[in-house]
Copies of this chain bind each other. A is one copy, B any other.
Amino acid sequence: MTPDQLVRHFIKLIETKDLESALLLLDEKCEYDNVPMRKVFGPEGVREGLAPFLASCSEIDWEIHHQTSSGDATSGVVMNERTDRFKMGDRWVEVPLMGIFTIANGKITLWRDYFDMAMFQKAISG
């Protein structure tokens, strides 16, 4: 898979809530950084960070508006502009953001999302 394909596949797995398959695409030392919140490390850190959140959503739809990349699966960079949507109860919560992923040896070594925390909190609280 190209870096572009790898990130699209990763996001598709998150959307289907198949977290365990998604974690297999992460490097053992990967960094997952939600810039205004916190960062966690390794597939285990990502599991602990994401599992409770995914469990609170009945549906997930992360729309990729644009995605660009450079390099290859050995050493690549992918960036995207997205709207991440989460169905909580009977309501869709959405947050506009941009994300950057770095790839090394076919695995994701960095996943960093930039968004406004107040917009996210406002969306969550409705």
Contact = CB atoms under 8 A, between A and B. Distances in A.
Interface of A: 35-36, 66, 68-70, 77-81, 96-100, 102, 112, 114-119
| Interface SS of chain A | strand
Contacts of A97: 114
A25 B80 CA distance: 23
B81 A100 contact: yes
Contact of A116 (B77, B99, B102, B114): B114
Contacts of A68: 68-70, 77-79
A81 to B, nearest CB: 5
Contacts of A118: 36, 116-118
